[in-house]
Amino acid sequence: MTGAQRINDAILWCVQLERRVDPYIRPMLDRLLRRAVQALVQWLINVRRRDEHLRIAEETVRPEEAGIAEDIARQMARFTTREYAPGYAQRAGNTKTYGVVRGEFTVSADVPEWLRHGVFSRPTTFRAWVRFAGPGPLSPPDIKDNGVLSLGVKLLGVGGEKLLDDEGTSQDFTGISAPTFTTPNVVENRKLQRHVFDGTPLLYFLDPRDPHLCDMVMQGLYARTHASPLEARYWSCTPYLLGEGQAMQYSVVPRDSTRTRAPWNPPDDYLREALATTLRERDVTFDFLVQLQTDPHRMPIEDASVVWPERLSSFIPVATLRLPRQDFDATQQFALADRLSFNPWHALPEHRQSMNGTPREVPGDDT
């Protein structure tokens, strides 16, 4: 083990220790500090950004982006080959499956006219598969790696041309339980993937020669010891088209605001158990909200570290995601999880992801 790996592991041990006490202190800290700290960090991020004077929904394409994305894919493939036995490779991101459940995605009848594009063009209900998962890239006991959760929603029976032709009738939406992504763009994500491969992911943020402290704080503000995947709010983190000439981000918000506390010494798969227990007892409903880009600089397409200010554009409800009461067999659902693929390019052209914000594999990697 290298010295850098020892430092990384020591910091990780402290983080995992904090996970034990987090349920007892986090609610108070969030109430007192999160809004102020986020405002300060976002100011520090924005004050260093240059105004490129772009138009609404306009992208800037890096000539080196394709090569960087390929390098990231190779790095992630090397990691999974090294860490998993042949035939048992898991995902390099959004790794641990808590559950794959049946859902119904209902587009509201009162969607404003300017939002009626793609799947939101008319009132309808789509059947859906919904996958709740952990961050990755490994699958340890939940208490050791549950700070930022992930969500994948696959709508079924969606007609029309798709950006990828491997699934002709699906539309995928993906997100994580933080409003900003771990890295702001593909250049920085390649650096992170190299640290992950070297066993020093935390040093990506703390390298004195190339620190990423603002991104670390933003992730820390939302990384918490979750009690259930059904109690978290999820964000798209990166922009998507909403028709032509409009960009959006979206958020999936649980309608029930009740929050439970994670146990002090939970079993290894307690998030899976919480998901199964709740859905065995009752339906769960999420609201699906969209936020339109109204300021190309303050609400950038190409920087996933910037929170789009709600004072410039509020989130508007356009659909509901209902998870009906159900009892699922663990063996069958995890076999299904291995067959399903959630990808932001399983999409209508009206919902195309930003071409340059983050690599295509994250946050909605093939899972």
Name the band, by pLDDT with cuts 50, 70 and 90, for residue 334. confident
pLDDT for 86 equals 76
103 touches 323 (CB < 8 A):
yes
Q: Is the pTM of this model over 0.85?
A: yes
Q: What is the average pLDDT value for the chain, to the nearest integer? A: 92
- Any idea where the domains of the chain sit in the sequence? 3-351
pLDDT tens-place string over residues 250-269: 999 999 988 999 988 899 99
- Residue located via tokens 């859902």: 103
**Are 181 and 218 contacting, i.e. CB atoms less than 8 angstroms apart?**
no
pLDDT of residue 365: 44
Cis peptide before 141 (omega within 30 of 0): no
Closest Cα partner for 57 from 352, 289, 304? 352
pLDDT reported for residue 22: 95
Tell the residue number behind the tokens 């850098």, with chain if given.
4
Task: Give the number of residues written for the chain.
Answer: 367
Contact 125, 104 (CB under 8 A): yes
Q: Which residue has the higher pLDDT, 90 or 50?
A: 50
Q: List CB contacts of 213: < 8 A, sequence separation 6 or more.
A: 205, 206
Cα radius of gyration (the chain): 20
Q: What is the CATH number of domain 3-351?
A: 2.40.180.10
